[in-house]
Amino acid sequence: MVLKIEPLNVRKHIRSDFSCGKDSLDNYIRKQASQDLKRRVATVFVLIDEPELNILAYYTLSSYTIDITVLDESFAKHLPRYPRLPATLLGRLAVDHRQKGKRFGELMLVDALKKSLDVSTQVASLAVIAEALDEEALSFYIKYGFRQFKQDSMKLYLPLKSIEELY
């Protein structure tokens, strides 16, 4: 068996058994993800343990824009004063409840950050944005260096420069 992160293939990957305990995240992978892929609204990446095709975890990436005024001044002062700036949205990140404690959330986050950094040379992005569903998710992102937006403490960002330093 080999852990592998790959783009969601709705004809191949088994989505129906996925359960992280959050209805919005469970319903997304089961019902909405295929539509978002078709419409090019989000790219979905899944973790599987080959040759099994059950989804162990997943995350989504999309283009995003942020208003410069919601960023921390220490970060924003080095940016051009455009009203909207490019970013990458880590829209969803979920781990099946049967996989808790295996650090798959961290694995998926690191993979999402690496992909975001890699693609930023082709499509500009100054940060990865995440929105925490609850306090547990908020703590998870803060633990990995994400900063909270000024007006919305459940929305966070991690500058690409910080990600670059990791690699």
pLDDT at 70 over 90: no
pTM: 0.92
Number of structural domains found in the chain: 1
pLDDT at 75: 78
Phi-psi region of 21 (alpha: psi -120 to 50; beta: other; left: phi over 0): left
Q: Which domain holds residue 40?
A: 2-166
pLDDT at 73 over 80: no
Dump strand ranges (E) for the chain: 2-7, 43-50, 57-67, 84-95, 127-131, 147-148, 155-159
Tokens of residue 89, six digits: 């949205």
For residue 33, give the H/E element and its range. helix 33-39
pLDDT tens profile 9-55: 999 999 999 999 999 999 999 999 999 999 999 999 999 999 999 99
**Whole-angstrom distance, CA of residue 36 vs CA of residue 45:** 12
Instruction: Look up the CATH number of the domain holding residue 67.
Output: 3.40.630.30
Q: Which residues in 58-83 are b (16+ Cβ under 10 Å) and which e?
A: bbbbbbbebebeebeeebbeeeeeee
| Average confidence (pLDDT) over 2-6 | 96
